Amino acid sequence: MTKIRAIETADVRFPTSRTLAGSDATHPDPDYSAAYAVVRLDDPAAPEGHGLAFTIGRGNEIVVAAIESLAPLVVGRDADEVFADMGACARRLTGDGQLRWIGPEKGAIHMATAAIVNALWDLLAKRRGRPLWRLLAEMSPEELVGLIDFRYLTDALTPTEALAILRDRLPGRAARTEQLVESGLAAYVTSVGWIGYDDATVRARCREALAQGFTRFKMKVGATPEVDAARARLLRAEIGAERTLMMDANQCWDVPEAIARMRDLAAFDPYWIEEPTSPDDVLGHAAIARAVAPIRVATGEMAQNRVIFKQLLQSGAIGVCQVDACRLGGVNEVLAVLLLAAKFGVPVCPHAGGVGLCEYVQHVAAFDQIAVAPSLEGRFTEFADHLHEHFVHPVVVERGAYRLPEAPGYGVELRPESLRDHLFPGGPVWREG
Amino acid sequence: MTKIRAIETADVRFPTSRTLAGSDATHPDPDYSAAYAVVRLDDPAAPEGHGLAFTIGRGNEIVVAAIESLAPLVVGRDADEVFADMGACARRLTGDGQLRWIGPEKGAIHMATAAIVNALWDLLAKRRGRPLWRLLAEMSPEELVGLIDFRYLTDALTPTEALAILRDRLPGRAARTEQLVESGLAAYVTSVGWIGYDDATVRARCREALAQGFTRFKMKVGATPEVDAARARLLRAEIGAERTLMMDANQCWDVPEAIARMRDLAAFDPYWIEEPTSPDDVLGHAAIARAVAPIRVATGEMAQNRVIFKQLLQSGAIGVCQVDACRLGGVNEVLAVLLLAAKFGVPVCPHAGGVGLCEYVQHVAAFDQIAVAPSLEGRFTEFADHLHEHFVHPVVVERGAYRLPEAPGYGVELRPESLRDHLFPGGPVWREG
């Protein structure tokens, strides 16, 4: 028997606030950070599992503390037993009769759950010699359904319905895999339009991205109406009328304000408005969606769990599902949201950027497009071009598309020297900063 | 100038799981706990402010860590400046551009916000020589509205509407204060029906509560249909057909299951069904409310913030608003929810029990009934009869009603010896347990 020997944690932070990369209307100075978890087995020949929850600086230490509080639910268990029923393992982490009080399934405790669950999946995929997306795409519909906690979902999606969706897509899996390996995952670029950038920087980033083959671009909004309009005009001048422009308000508006502001910004033909208001406001998103159609409403990076996604989909509040890999409780809950989105016919465009999120979500998007989605239409994965150099297997993006990763695992293993240098507060980057 | 010198924290836990007090369908073995915060000024003659966030054991350490992470946003500031604009102080705690990522306004970080905000209010009320409810009830409508963060609320409640509600109730404040001082706050009792109790214990507790003058009783449901029905039958046999029986499922059902189970339990004439499903499921609660009417749907102890309450009220999902004093971000956000409830005509019956919650919510209920509510009808404050002896000023409940507290402050200051004995994991209660 091989036991899970330990879950080690690290507080890793990158000083991105020094350049305003990642700045938006609500988060003026993020330091992209990772509450990092490493799962070790008591077999020294076994690979390690690496997972992280993304945060933006202060507060990362709280998620690290939560990983440590959850670890005893996994450490000491038989690894083969855990890997044989990852659904049960995920439910054990979210269902603890005392820990759930400080969620349930939301905030620090749920992000910590994601770091652990994803680290376990990373380890399992490495053991099987598969990138995560292939490991999942090779599972039967029955196995996949067994991974999902349907609690609180059955009024919208039953296990039987989920099984039917997966079975329906089964015949085309091989062809779609081949197609995606060939063409890559369609991407869009966020890093042209951070709110803290001046016009010259935006213009330069835009031209770089055009030269790299991107055709979809996202800008931040939520400054004054005049500043937002000027920024949109600049972007449209650079990318032309035909290419796609998304807008992201990062939760900065109330519902009536979001509606009024998007009526003005409609002149710039935005493809979607992302996070127009509080991530908790299902009814508010639905009201905005009705008012700003045909502009789509998008949200997800702060949607705390599958129950919120269920409602966003039930109410027609979102036209784009921006699932995140480590805000939800890890791979298992992400699968639930992919199936909910398929049930309601809403395309999944995963949230990425930050640190490690691109590395994570390429697996999510690839699996979705191979095994769950009814078509590839309207499915673009977010891309931001920073901090990839810190990963053992950084993403590869060419001609505006992610190349599908082939390295075994879930992709967020940090290079040892990057981990060491960015430890907070003791690492050299912070001691010298 | 008097500065806020320090916020000290403590991890305090009571071993309630040893007796199954507090057990329910979702939380089989809670150890009632407090993530405790003490605010000290640099004036040695000034009182201390005591606040806590209630948890049920494991995970309390995470909320304590979050209090420590938030403390620098308050420590070092001029106390008079903070007390002159408590609305700004609360917004500073919830609006930090980095910390908000691990919420926003939910989970561990928000509960920690509650502990600090409530400790500051405790200190302010002690300085003014007033119990919190009196301090608030003596404020002008304009002052009260200035305490509230209306962000994300304005589609349902504007500052102007809130002001109108408060002004409308202004003339009757003195008479209602007198009435409540005389009669006390109507209460109901929860501690007769914990799910882990056997029939004999339930019967004994019930008879005690009847002898104490209670006329409203709550039982836990969520066991098998047969067990729930047997328990309801036992309670009805003890309390008769005329007294009020509430039921509490503690989130254990999916939506279709909640509807089916309440159709069966309707035979026992429940006044409300509490937490029938996930606390995040606004649409689910609304569907249940439509299906089980005229039985009211109640929720709130895990409703994470004012945005969820706004939607529960907008959608007609709840007929009873069970605001909690330390799940929301403290006094300021509680005021927002009281006003939302008044706007939508839903009575507030605060959640209590646990440790310190009764001590807290008597102030909330008294203020609501004096200054916000249109009438006293349908307003009962929860009561559970344990752990009060650990407080410097324990609640006084007589003839089924809370006597209004007159000691200055917000009521949750623990006796020094109780604090010391229950420190986790080093205190004598835990070392010997």
Q: A190-212, pLDDT tens digit by residue?
A: 978 777 889 999 999 999 999 99
Domain span at A77: 4-130
CB pairs under 8 A between A and B: 192
| B175 and B124 co-located in one domain | no
Whether B147 is in a domain gets the answer no
**Considering only CB atoms, which chain B residues are within 8 Å of A108?**
62, 66, 102, 107-109
Instruction: Respond yes or no: is residue B27 known to be catalytic.
Output: no
Residue B312: closest C-alpha in chain A: A283
Boundary residue ending a domain (A79, A113, A130)? A130
pLDDT at position A37 over 90: yes
Contact A282 B281 (CB under 8 A): no
> What number is the average pLDDT over the span A98-121?
98
Boundary residue ending a domain (B110, B130, B150)? B130
Contact A69 B56 (CB under 8 A): no
- What per-residue confidence (pLDDT) applies to A433? 60
Whether A203 is in a domain gets the answer yes
Whether A427 is in a domain gets the answer no
Residue range A226-246, pLDDT digits in tens: 999 999 999 999 999 999 999
Residue B104: closest C-alpha in chain A: A107
Contact A59 B99 (CB under 8 A): yes
**Considering only CB atoms, which chain A residues are within 8 Å of B27?**
97-98, 100-101
**Considering only CB atoms, which chain B residues are within 8 Å of A337?**
none
Whether A412 is in a domain gets the answer yes
| B305 and B175 co-located in one domain | yes
- What per-residue confidence (pLDDT) applies to A401? 97
The span from the CA of B206 to the CA of B137, in Å, is 35
Q: CA A124, A126, A127, A129 torsion: positive or negative?
A: positive
| A266 and A361 co-located in one domain | yes
Q: Which residue among A62, A308, A310 places its CB closest to the CB of B108?
A: A62
Residue range A48-67, pLDDT digits in tens: 999 999 999 999 999 999 99
Residue B28 burial class via C-beta count within 10 angstroms: exposed 0-12, middle 13-18, buried 19 and up: middle
| A236 and A330 co-located in one domain | yes
In contact, B76 and B6? CB cutoff 8 Å? no
Q: Which residue among B62, B255, B282 places its CB closest to the CB of A102?
A: B62
| A37 and A180 co-located in one domain | no
- What per-residue confidence (pLDDT) applies to A197? 86
Whether B178 is in a domain gets the answer yes
The span from the CA of B63 to the CA of B69, in Å, is 10
Residue B406 burial class via C-beta count within 10 angstroms: exposed 0-12, middle 13-18, buried 19 and up: exposed
Q: How far is CA B401 from the centre of its chain?
A: 17
**Which stretches in chain B have pLDDT values below 50?**
none
CATH number assigned to the domain comprising residue B62? 3.30.390.10
| A195 and A318 co-located in one domain | yes
| A241 and A385 co-located in one domain | yes
Min distance B45 CA to chain A CA atoms (Å): 34
Write the DSSP symbol of residue A33.
E
**Considering only CB atoms, which chain B residues are within 8 Å of A56?**
97-98, 101
**Considering only CB atoms, which chain A residues are within 8 Å of B305?**
280
CATH number assigned to the domain comprising residue B381? 3.20.20.120
The span from the CA of A146 to the CA of A132, in Å, is 17
Whether A431 is in a domain gets the answer no
Catalytic residue among B285, B310, B343, B351: B351
Q: What is the mean pLDDT of chain A?
A: 96
Q: Which residue among A65, A107, A152 places its CB closest to the CB of B254?
A: A152
Which two tokens mark A101? 């009080």
- What per-residue confidence (pLDDT) applies to B433? 60
Closest CA to B284 of A340, A288, A308, A150: A308
For chain A, give percent helix, strand, coil, nearest 5: 45, 15, 40
Min distance B234 CA to chain A CA atoms (Å): 27
pTM recorded for the entire structure: 0.98
* Residues listed for chain A: 433
Residue range A327-384, pLDDT digits in tens: 999 999 999 999 999 999 999 999 999 999 999 999 999 999 999 999 899 999 999 9
Contact A98 B152 (CB under 8 A): no
Q: Does ipTM come in above 0.90? A: yes
Backbone angles phi, psi at B341, to 5 degrees: -60, -40
Residue A154: closest C-alpha in chain B: B254
If one counts the domains in chain B, the total is 2
Min distance B302 CA to chain A CA atoms (Å): 8
Question: C-alpha dihedral over B52, B53, B54, B57, to 10 degrees?
Answer: -100
| B120 and B175 co-located in one domain | no
Whether B296 is in a domain gets the answer yes
Q: Which residue among A27, A65, A304 places its CB closest to the CB of B62?
A: A65
Percent of chain B with pLDDT over 90: 94
Boundary residue ending a domain (B130, B149, B172)? B130
| B282 and B406 co-located in one domain | yes
Residue A311: closest C-alpha in chain B: B283
Half-sphere exposure of B267 (CA within 13 A, CB side): 11
Interior/surface letters A329-356, b for 16+ CB within 10 angstroms, e for the rest: bbbbbbbbbbbbbbbbebbbbbbbbbbb
| B125 and B185 co-located in one domain | no
Q: Which residue among A63, A110, A307 places its CB closest to the CB of B281?
A: A307
Min distance B407 CA to chain A CA atoms (Å): 30
Q: CA B390, B396, B402, B408 torsion: positive or negative?
A: negative
Contact B281 A153 (CB under 8 A): no
**Considering only CB atoms, which chain B residues are within 8 Å of A98?**
27, 29-31, 55-59
| A232 and A312 co-located in one domain | yes
pLDDT at position A325 over 90: yes
Min distance B14 CA to chain A CA atoms (Å): 13
Instruction: Respond yes or no: is residue B126 known to be catalytic.
Output: no
| B119 and B173 co-located in one domain | no
Whether B335 is in a domain gets the answer yes
Q: Which residue among B59, B105, B155 places its CB closest to the CB of A287?
A: B155
Residue of A17, A60, A61, A98 to mutate, interface with B, max B Cβ within 10 Å: A98
